Amino acid sequence: MTADKPFTVWAPHAQDVRLHLDGETHPMSRGDGGWWVSDQLRSPGQRYGYELFDGEEWSKTLPDPRTTHQPDGPHGLSEVTDPRFDWSDDAWTGRALPGQVLYELHIGTFTPAGTFTDAIEKLSYLRDLGVTAIEIMPVQPFGGERNWGYDGVEWHAVQHSYGGPEGLKQLVDAAHNAGLAVILDVVYNHFGPDGNYNGQFGPYTVPGNTGWGDAVNISGENSDEVRAYILDSVRLWFEQFHIDGLRLDAVHAYDDRGAYSIMEQMQAIADEVTARTGVPRSLIAESDMNDPRLITGPEAGGYGLAGQWVDDIHHALHTLVSGENHAYYEDFGSMAALEKTLREAYYFTGGYSSYRGRNHGRPLNTREIPAHRLVTYTTTHDQVGNRAGGDRPSMNLTPAQQVLKAAVIYSSPYTPMMFMGEEFGAKTPFAFFVSHTDEELNRLTSEGRAREFSRAGWNHAEVPDPADPATFEASKLDWDLDDGQQEILEAYRTLLRLRRELGLARPDLSQLIVETGGEDDRWLAMGHEDVMLLANLSGRAVTAPYGGELIYSFTSPEVGAEETALGPWEFALIRR
Q: Give the residue ranges of the annotated binding site for substrate.
A: 247-252, 311-315, 381-386
Instruction: Rule CB under 8 A: say whether 300 interacts with a second copy.
Output: yes
Q: Which one of residues 55, 90, 91, 259 is an interface residue with a second copy (CB under 8 A)? A: 259
Given 5, 26, 326, 356, the residue binding a second copy (CB under 8 A)? 356
Q: Which helix (H) or strand (E) element contains residue 30?
A: strand 24-30
User: For residues 121-131, b (16+ Cβ closer than 10 Å) or e, as one string?
Assistant: ebbeebeebbb
CB atoms within 10 A of CB 276: 10
Least distance to a second copy, CB of residue 207, Å: 8
Annotated catalytic residue 286: yes
In angstroms, what CA-CA distances link 17 with 34, 265, 442? 11, 31, 32
Rounded to whole angstroms, the Cα distance separating 366 from 343 reads 9
Nearer to a second copy by C-beta: 125 or 260? 260
Residue 36 and residue 26 in contact, taking contact as beta carbons nearer than 8 Å:
no
Q: Is 108 exposed, middle or buried (0-12, 13-18, 19+ CB in 10 A)?
A: buried
SS3 content of the chain, % helix, strand, coil (to 5): 30, 20, 50
Phi, psi for 500 (deg, rounded to 5): -70, -50
How far apart, in whole angstroms, are the C-alpha atoms of residue 8 and residue 370?
Answer: 44
Nearer to a second copy, 26 or 257 (CB): 257
Q: According to the binding rule CB under 8 A, does residue 367 interact with a second copy?
A: no
Distance set, CA 340 to CA 253, 317, 375, 515 (Å): 27, 12, 16, 9
19 in Cβ contact with 26 (< 8 Å): yes
Q: Residue 272, interface with a second copy (CB under 8 A)?
A: no
Rounded to the nearest whole angstrom, what is the least distance from the CB of residue 220 to a second copy in the complex?
Answer: 7
- Please report whether residue 213 would count as binding a second copy according to CB under 8 A: no
- Per CB under 8 A, does 211 bind a second copy? no
- Strand order through the sheet with 47-53: 6-10, 35-41, 24-30, 16-21, 47-53, 78-79
| 482: Cβ contacts below 8 Å, ≥ 6 apart | none
DSSP tag of 298: G
End-to-end CA distance of the chain: 58
Please, what is the minimum distance in Å from the beta carbon of residue 208 to a second copy? Answer: 8
Name the one range near a second copy by CB under 8 A: 138-146, 360-368, 514-522, 553-561. Answer: 360-368
Q: Which listed range, 22-30, 129-137, 267-275, 285-293, lies at the site for a second copy (CB under 8 A)?
A: 285-293
Which x/- pattern, by CB under 8 A, does the window 191-210 give for a second copy? -----------------x--
Our finding on whether 455 is near a second copy (CB under 8 A) is no
Residues 61, 147, 198, 290: which binds a second copy (CB under 8 A)? 290
Binding mask 234-253 for a second copy (x = CB under 8 A): ------------------x-
Question: Strand 531-536 relative to strand 35-41: parallel, antiparallel, unpaired?
Answer: unpaired
How many residues at the interface with a second copy, by CB under 8 A? 31
Q: Please, are residues 211 and 252 in contact by the beta-carbon 8 Å criterion?
A: no
| Per annotation, catalytic residue among 286, 291, 331, 423 | 286
Is there binding between residue 360 and a second copy (CB under 8 A)? Answer: yes
CB closer to a second copy, 34 vs 130: 34
CB closer to a second copy, 124 vs 359: 359
> Within 46-105, which residues bind a second copy (CB under 8 A)?
none
Under rule CB under 8 A, residue 289 binds a second copy: yes
- 13 binding a second copy? (CB under 8 A): no
* Catalytic-labelled residue, pool 64, 104, 135, 249: 249
Q: How far is CA 131 from CA 214, 313, 385, in A?
A: 37, 20, 22
We find the least distance from the C-beta atom of residue 61 to a second copy, in angstroms, to be 28
Instruction: Give the single-character DSSP code of 59.
Output: P
Active-site residue flag, 104: no
**Residue 327 touches a second copy, criterion: CB under 8 A:** no
Is residue 576 involved in binding a second copy (CB under 8 A)? no
Among 8, 219, 322, 398, binds a second copy (CB under 8 A): 219
Catalytic residues: 249, 286
Residue ranges in contact with a second copy by CB under 8 A: 208, 219-224, 252, 257-260, 289-293, 296, 299-302, 350, 352, 356-362
